[in-house]
Structure 1
Amino acid sequence: MKIRASHVLVKHQYEAEDVLRALNLGKSFEELAKRYSTCPSGAQGGDLGVFGPGRMDQDFEEAAFALKVDETVAKPVRTRFGYHIIKRTK
């Protein structure tokens, strides 16, 4: 199974929690990714494209594959790269 997801990657947990709060207040995921993400995908609104199992960090994958389409994680996901706010888009 393949999915499509976007993310906002930040260095600190408090930054990820700030992004989640902004999302809950109705801010655009894409705009937040462009403004705050440290990943190059931020320039594309956080879009990581389509991927299948085994391509991403295990903790990232578990969180992303557990989401429904258009659903965003309830809490930041920590990986060796930092803290992610993940949204499944397809």
Structure 2
Amino acid sequence: MKETYHAAHILLPTRHEAEDILRKLAEGKSFEELARKYSSCSSSKSSGDLGPIPFGKADPDFEEAVLLLKPEQVSKTPLKTRFGFHIIKRLK
């Protein structure tokens, strides 16, 4: 098993804002562009890319959500953690 996984996310303060971004994605907008424009995380500068993440280092709910996705798949619902609401894209 790999020791890391690779994900990107768009972090938003409210469920309403996260659902609005999900609608924009459904309309065909670019995940990377939306991450740069709307994410409240410093990873917005790199289109939401969090880089390789060692297993066990991220919020357990975030990690579980990433691992349920296939590479290049984007989550269909916002994930709430103590940081806010995430829309996640698994990169590898």
TM normalised by structure 2 equals 0.94
CA contact (8 A) 2:5 2:55 kept: no
Q: Runs of 4+ in structure 1 displaced over 3 angstroms?
A: none
User: Cα offset for 1:52?
Assistant: 2.6
**Which residues of structure 1 form unaligned runs of 5+?**
none
Identity of aligned residues (%): 51
Q: Size of the alignment, in residue pairs?
A: 90
Match in the other structure for 1:80: 82
Question: Could you tell me which amino acid in structure 2 is paired with residue 7 of structure 1?
Answer: H
Residues 20-74 of structure 1: CA deviation (Å, up to 9, x unaligned):
1101111000110011000000111000001131111111111011110010111
Q: Following the alignment from structure 1 to structure 2, what is the Cα–Cα distance between the partners of residues 89 and 49?
A: 9
Q: Following the alignment from structure 1 to structure 2, what is the Cα–Cα distance between the partners of residues 53 and 73?
A: 19
